[in-house]
Amino acid sequence: MTDTLELEAQQMTRGLTAAQLEKMYDESLKEFNEGSIIEGIILAIRSNDVLVDVGYKSEGIIPKHEFKKLEELSEGDKIEVLLERLEDDNGMVVLSKQRAETQKNWDRILETYSEGDLIEGVIHGRVKGGMLVDVGVEAFLPGSQVDLVPVKNPDDYIGQVIQFKIIKINLERRNIVVSRRELLEEQRREMKAQLLTEIKIGQQRKGYVKNITDFGAFIDLNGMDGLLHITDMSWGRINHPSEMVKIGDELEVTILDVDYEKERVSLGLKQQSDNPWEEIGAKYPVGHRIRGKVVNLMPYGAFVELEPGVEGLVHVSELSWTKRIARASDVLNVGDEVDAMVLAVNKDDKKISLGIRQTEENPWEIVANKYPIGSRIVGTVRNFTNYGAFLELEEGVDGMVHVSDMSWTRKVNHPSEVLEKGQKVDAVVLEVDASNQRISLGMKQAMPDPWSSVASKYAIGQLVEGKVAKLAQFGAFVELEEGIEGLVHISQISDERVEKVKDVLKVGDQVKARIVKMDEVDRRIGLSIKAAEVSDDEFQLDESMLEGLRPGEDMVDLGSAFDDAFSGLEGLEEWHPGDK
């Protein structure tokens, strides 16, 4: 390499006079300072580099990539370069065209700009924490200073020529920090002040959707943001603002309110169109049949869109005459087209009640003729309540048997005591209320009343036999025949004092007793085992035999009225006053 350079130098000096050689030698001895910018002459443009003479005893080589417009240069052109070193390992001068330009630009920026000034540059790359900007020298743009809002895709800014504000110049580190955000904020403050002098309630303004929340959307009005609340987006019901708008959408909105002190603006979108609820009563009168689309389902019903901004609610109770529907979603889907009848219109509350079942024939209108009072039916036990059982007569038509109408002879506390779900039951129609869709049924009315013959079979003083059916603290119930029971009070069990009924009697024991009380109205029979010990001739009814059987004190009927209160008393220890 050195030999080649020496050969080139020999060829260049060949033919020069002694005076010229002496002059060149003197110039080569002038002072050169590393780091200074000096002038050089292009001697040759080669394949990979450019040979430059700076007047020193040796030439310098500059890589081609340091020249932005190399094709515009020619041999003999003068250029400014930075002297990095006087000699490298090969004795060549180390020069840099790029560093010379950077130094010149840095000096120019220091002379021209200060912190707070505006400067134009090109974003040309990304680094950790921000971006690089070419403003003549390389400047740093922090990520938080790129825009007013967080930047989703920084690469979109690369290559753009943008104006920045210089926020810091570090002379020691020779770097510059710039901000685009501060410049935009200043511009926005000016625009906001101008906008507040122009904006008025009722104006129409264009803006862009800047952000979306659960309660609305913020609209950039080119100077300040306004709130478009979800309730002012549509005359109809919407679940979320994203159903109506998307970030970046351009909208024309109405200025609803301006708070100049707090600098807040309320906007409306639905006000751009007429309120469809103004003439709603005339458009959808009660009884009017409509066709609409199911747009939302709730457990309690379905919302049907009649037109944009107008919806009606079909309550689950209005979906079918006959089917028992727990949730609207059991029979409908969003998007279904349905026919319905307008049941009620409330313009002030913007509510329309609809019914789907009203578009079909009501089977309950013929129930009264189909199930007349007194007719016998066969129903299937479908469900229980605390007060009765529902029997299905046909699909969608149920009748209810109250617990008091289940048995002539038993006091039924819960229908499950005598019935099972799915069981077939004979019953008699007691009452039909088609308007309220109710049928009252009676099971006992489908059977003969055993008490109708009690008066002819039994009389006071009569000696009877029966089986102990149940024990209670106050006595024992004796079954005289199926469905007919009498009460032997504890005082009438034996001539001896009885402390506990279970000590003397057991369920299933056959006993003889005399009838000492008959009450057909209250369906009560009082018995006395003690009185059975005397002959018919000797028997005389006295007040002692009625102890515990007086009205208001005794409760014995054919339904074992004490079932609920005393069924769990057998086996309990005797309780005495003062026990705790």
451-479 pLDDT per residue, tens = 777 777 888 888 999 999 889 888 999 98
Report residue 19: phi and psi, to 5°: -65, -40
Which CATH code, of 2.40.50.140, 2.60.40.3880, 2.40.160.40, 1.10.3720.10, is assigned to 363-446? Answer: 2.40.50.140
- Please state, in angstroms and as integers, the Cα–Cα distance from residue 516 to each residue in 347, 459, 547, following that order: 73, 9, 11
Indicate the class that CATH gives domain 199-272: mainly beta
Distance CA 319, CA 303 (A): 12
Assess whether the region 363-446 and the region 450-566 belong to the same CATH fold: yes
Tell me the per-residue pLDDT of 526-539, one tens digit each, with 9 for 90 and over. Answer: 898 888 888 877 78
C-alpha of 421 from chain center: 38
pLDDT of residue 291: 93
Report residue 550: phi and psi, to 5°: -75, 150
Query: What residue has token string 């016998």?
Result: 376
Structure tokens at 462: 């009569």
Distance CA 343, CA 526 (A): 60
Q: Which amino acid is at 270?
A: K
Task: Give the angle subtended at the CA of 272 by the CAs of 271 and 274, to the nearest 5°.
Answer: 70
Report residue 363: phi and psi, to 5°: -65, -20
Pairing of strands 60-63, 93-96: parallel
pLDDT of residue 19: 57
pLDDT of residue 279: 82
pLDDT of residue 580: 30
Distance CA 94, CA 100 (A): 12
Residue-range domain boundaries for the chain: 2-102, 113-184, 199-272, 280-349, 363-446, 450-566
The CATH code of domain 2-102 reads: 2.40.50.140
> CATH topology for 280-349?
OB fold (Dihydrolipoamide Acetyltransferase, E2P) (2.40.50)
Task: Extract the residue ranges of the chain whose pLDDT is less than 70.
Answer: 1-31, 35, 543-544, 547-580
Which CATH code, of 3.60.20.10, 3.10.129.10, 3.30.160.150, 2.40.50.140, is assigned to 113-184? Answer: 2.40.50.140
Distance CA 520, CA 557 (A): 10
Report residue 452: phi and psi, to 5°: -65, -20
Yes or no: say if 180 and 141 are a contact pair by the CB < 8 Å rule. Answer: yes
> CATH topology for 450-566?
OB fold (Dihydrolipoamide Acetyltransferase, E2P) (2.40.50)
